[in-house]
Structure 1
Amino acid sequence: MQRILNTLRLTAKELRAIARDVVMLVLIAYVFTVSTYMVADAISTEVDHLAVAVIDEDQSILSARLTDSIQPPLFKSPDMIAADQALQAQKDGKYILVVDFPPDMERDLKAGRSVTINIDVDATAVAHAGNGAAFMSQMLGQEITRYFSPSAVDGSQIDVVFRSFYNPNLTSKWFTSVMQLMNSITILTLILAGASLIREREHGTIEHVLVMPVRPPEIVVSKILANGLVILIAAVFSLIVVVEWLLAVPVSGSVLLFVLGTALYVIALASLGLLLATFTKNMGQYGLLVIPVIVVMILLSGGITPLESMPGFLQVAIRILSPAPHFVAFAQSVLYRGSGIGLVWPEMATMAGMAVFTFSVTLMRFRKVLSG
């Protein structure tokens, strides 16, 4: 009972220290509100009003019809340019796509000869360019088919229907908002946990704690509890107010289950943050150490690029060393697909195991630092 009381008192002390750190509070509020909203609302790989130019060397009814079919919202109304202007226009960044209808296109198609329509793509914006070129190619093909056989209906034709589950309109905002929230949890948990120990060392209050009748496990647990509680409250607020309300992203699963899984993830991260802080003496050193860790964890979490696209050895390594891919899989399953604990318990168990292991290593390292 005395250990529990000591831990609670130390937790209250940590919470008061966070409350007095105005800069940190502003950072937490900004990251979980403004930053989440801005990133989700502004960053998009959807095809939306792409700038298009058309080189019409055919000057036929078909080429005019194809030009008229290039319309918002996927594309801007196309500009007509000459062939010798296309290269410079794309160098100047004016157009993502330049569509070139060759001479005698309609006549060749009517005669049964093959025709090549060139689509020059500014591939510096890879996602937009690739998606835009695919949509443009599909649209032109459909329009040409309708032009030459407007009344052709064959009941034996196969109609392929795509059904998009969990994000029926393929809205990138639904994905980006949750991934940004998860990245914010990762970044701020590591920063807050490490800063709590660095702050004690820089202010000299760690010596005061050492003369108190408390043990290292109580100090470590109090720091994890205090910082984890702040992160959890901010994350739930961001999920409900920013993601679900402001961005109108439907949350299918249980928020309580998400909080439980996030708590396991936060414990593992906070333990890691404290472990890294034991190797540094000030915030400058800690920042240089933790930034590469954050970058690797986020980039290899599966939230930006699928794990399946990574080399096999890297997939195995990151699943063993980092809780981030397990948290990404857990959060996507719960928030998007509405999965219950029966489906996500393996990811939760893995995060719990990593939390226990990281906490144990941190505690051993913490004892050495205090004794030193």
Structure 2
Amino acid sequence: MPRFYFVLFLVAGLLAGSTQATQAQQNNPTINGDFRGLRFEEFARRVEAQTPYRFYFKSKTLDTVTVHVQADNVRLLALLSQVFAHTTLQFAIDEATSRVFITPERPLQTQVPNAIFQRLPPGATPTPDVANAPIRPSGPPATGTSEFRVYEIGPRQATPAGGRATLTGTVRTAGVGSAPALGVAVFIDSPNIGTATDKLGNYSLTIPVGRHNLNIRGLGIRSTRRQIWVHGDGRLDLEVLTDATSLNEVVVQGQKDRNVRSMQMGVQKLDIKQIKQIPTVFGESDLLRVVTALPGVKTIGEGSTGFSVRGGGTDQNLVLFNGATIYNPAHLFGFFSAFNPDMVQSVELYKSAIPARYGGRLASVLDIV
């Protein structure tokens, strides 16, 4: 009988220890996963799927935050510390309700301080609340190099809400060959206020106080933005990356062989398409009228289709149609040409260096095919 009670007490102790271990694991779960490149809202949904915690934040406050962490059995406190390491965002975890609050500048106080209702002795100074203290003192303006960090401009009590402040600075390219970036657009979207840098890369903006996304765009640089929190007048120098755009292959083809296919000089070639594009009287294409419009050729009169080439007479021109000599290339006293343009394929006019196969002609040869 004593042995039975001993075994019963042993089993009960093991069950109690297992229950406590399970409860402790549920109260402080670990997180696993690759969260690199995720927007914060997607990161919060994945963490909520693995843990009983629920996130509370304003979407506008974290719309530009991108997570770049990888977790392997990491507690929530350590994971959030990595996520907000280089930002002014703060977080507070309420273990009693499994809630996580994300706030800018100062963490949310989830519990009422124990000494809040205690009466202070006469002349005593109240201890400042840590949750309402500034995160970091305002120091000299830093160079804006990161898209994920929020840069504070000016003293925090410099300008009241609704006021305006002037932001100045210089935009330079990052790297060894750093140089001023001129002609770069620096602007905010709401309200739409912007300016462009001068030849030294300087800019100046007068914008409302508060939080803004400062956009930087220009030729030769990579488009980017900086998160700023403007309290008053201040300076923020910006470093941007250069952007080398890769162009597609450009093929340049020359046609120099077009001029050296033959040693023939002084030749003008026309096809029927070019002939019909030249306007003529009555809308009908006239080969001889088209020929008189070529360089070195002129008509001998307004009412005649005869033409003179480089000062030669009309009887010094040889007119051929499919190899046959045409002695009178005109009709109706020279007003109309004897050639139907619908039956012509091409026209060649030799004005000098006439080939020997055409015989001896002093002025030109007009070969119609």
TM-score for both structures, normalised by structure 2: 0.17
State which structure, 1 or 2, has the greater radius of gyration over its C-alpha atoms: 2
- Higher relative contact order by CA 8 Å / sep ≥ 6: 1 or 2? 1
Relative to its length, the structure with more strand (as a share) is: 2
Relative to its length, the structure with more helix (as a share) is: 1
